[in-house]
Amino acid sequence: MAVSPLRLLAQIITDSIDTIENRLADASTSFPSLDEPMDPTSKVESILVEPDMSRATSHIVAAAAQLMATVRQPVQTIMDDALAASAWQLNRYICHLRISPSEPVSSLLVYQSGY
């Protein structure tokens, strides 16, 4: 029986994680946590920009995106992308008007209507 596309994508992710963890173990460091502030001058950050590490992280991101697109219903992806695009456009509109995002929505409506 052939290996499913889901397992192949998962294997790409696992292999890339192995590459990252092995390199970081060789350097006696660990992958940075999202719970800690980023330090661009840290040893781990300099390791993560090495070509093999960049390739591994790119493979993880690409395989994860393809995995999500494969397992989700197409309409979920379409709706999420549409909502993300709408949020991006709204943000650009607010920035263009120079209105603070903390202002109430009513101020946007007043500005737009001209009152």
HEC profile for the chain?
A: CCCCHHHHHHHHHHHHHHHHHHHHHHCCCCCCCCCCCCCCCCHHHHHHCCHHHHHHHHHHHHHHHHHHHHHCCHHHHHHHHHHHHHHHHHHHHHHHHCCCCCCCHHHHHHHHHCC
Domain match, 60 and 84 both: no
Domain match, 52 and 83 both: no
Asked if the model's pLDDT at residue 63 lies above 60, the reply is: yes
Q: In this structure, are residues 48 and 57 in contact, taking their beta carbons and an 8 Å threshold?
A: yes
Domain match, 84 and 59 both: no
Number of domains composing the chain:
2
Domain match, 53 and 82 both: no
Domain match, 64 and 98 both: no
Domain match, 41 and 80 both: no
Provide the pLDDT confidence category of residue 84 given band limits of 50, 70 and 90: confident
Residue 34's domain comprises 1-71
Asked if the model's pLDDT at residue 62 lies above 60, the reply is: yes
Domain match, 30 and 1 both: yes
Pick from 16-25, 78-87, 102-111 the range whose average pLDDT is largest: 16-25
Is the model's pTM score more than 0.75?
no
> Per-residue pLDDT averaged across 31-54, rounded?
94
How long is the chain? Answer: 115
Domain match, 78 and 67 both: no
pLDDT at 99: 55
User: What does R_g of the chain's alpha carbons equal in angstroms?
Assistant: 21
